[in-house]
Amino acid sequence: MNSNVLVTGGLGHIGSALIRYLAELSDIDQITIMDNLVTQRYASLFNLPDNISYRFVEGDVMQDEDMDEALRDIDVIVHLAAITDAEGSFDRSEDVNLINFEGTQKVIEACIRNGVRRLIFPSTTSVYGPVSGIALENSRRSDLRPQSPYAVSKLDAEDEILKYTKSGNIEGVLLRLGTIFGPSPGMRFHTAVNKFIFHAVTTKPLTVWEEAVNLVRPYLDLKDAVRVIGFMITNTQCIGEIYNVVTLNATLDQIIESIRLNIEDIEIEYTSTRMLNQVSYHVNDDKLRSIGFEYCGDLTTGVRDTCDILRGIYCNNVP
């Protein structure tokens, strides 16, 4: 039986790519896109594939009537609506908790109210914080040390989904995504790789904490992010599970060198001031690979593709 899928926050960086990727899957009949348009990403709706039925609901996950309208005839919900800027979350922690945690509570309530059981929740590997050794999905809750209001809100939202899944009210799947890189129709440049690319393209210095060059962090190609969500929509054996999703674990130096392949003249400004969340941790994703998911993204291609969409700005600086 084919599925009707709702994507909240469907016009954002991940959502705008996801709503196009899902059109490629043969077992999805309709895609409902819900977004409050607060970021005015109207362009994310341009040139959608014409081989599938789309429905757009302008609405807010905090409003019951909006959620009830969006969940009409839905089989699976992918809950992406969130404030995702970890660095900016310190200055608006109340808003972040409201949207990311309480908003997820409202989504769960709406799912129960409308009889929608499958809930796929893209979370973040930032919930681990400065872990010792390798970050695994079975880490004890008490061992997780999220370093920003954003990461805390995502971890609290995970707890809610797991609670209601264990009670049998919903069927939740949690995906702890690495830091996203790669272009999308609803592009943002606030994550590490994309932000560095934009700065390099616009000849701004890349500000780097001098002790962070060799720190290892988890990164995720956007192509792999949308593919794993599609994988989970059609996989009913993963209910109640947590999966790390990471294309690669890389150092900051590797990121910079990948950018340098496309833009030779990169100015790096080293600072002795510790920057946000500059902790080193390696995330293990064997659990996801063990159930058959195969990655297709890579850092070099993701950086090149992002540089290509900005080519007009730096065309005289291409090696």
Domains of the chain: 3-180+220-245 (3.40.50.720), 182-217+248-317 (3.90.25.10)
Q: Give CA separation, 180 vs 41, 79, 126, in Å.
A: 18, 17, 12
Neighbours of 94 (CB within 10 A): 8
Q: Identify the pLDDT of residue 307.
A: 92
Please check the confidence at residue 277 and state whether its pLDDT lies above 60. Answer: no
Pairwise CA distance, residues 310 & 300, whole Å:
16
In the chain, % of residues over pLDDT 70:
92
* pLDDT reported for residue 212: 66
Instruction: Tell me the pLDDT tens digit for each residue of 29-83.
Output: 999 999 999 999 999 999 999 999 999 999 999 999 999 999 999 999 999 999 8
Which residues lie closer than 8 Å to 140 by C-beta, 6 or more apart? none
Residue 213 to residue 256: CA distance in whole angstroms: 9
Say how far apart CA 10 and CA 281 lie, in whole Å: 30
Alpha-carbon dihedral 189, 215, 221, 107, rounded to 10 degrees: -70
pTM: 0.94
Going by their DSSP bridges, the two strands 118-124 and 76-79 should be labelled as parallel
Confidence of residue 1 (pLDDT cuts 50, 70, 90): low
Dihedral sign, CA of 146, 148, 149, 154?
negative
Average pLDDT, the chain: 91
pLDDT at 12 over 80: yes
Which CA distances in Å does 140 have to 67, 157, 250? 33, 16, 25
Would you place residue 175 in the very low, low, confident or very high pLDDT band (cuts 50, 70, 90)? very high
Q: What pLDDT was estimated at residue 274?
A: 54
pLDDT tens readout for residues 186-234: 999 988 899 999 999 998 988 877 666 678 899 999 999 999 999 999 8
79/107 Cα distance (integer angstroms): 8
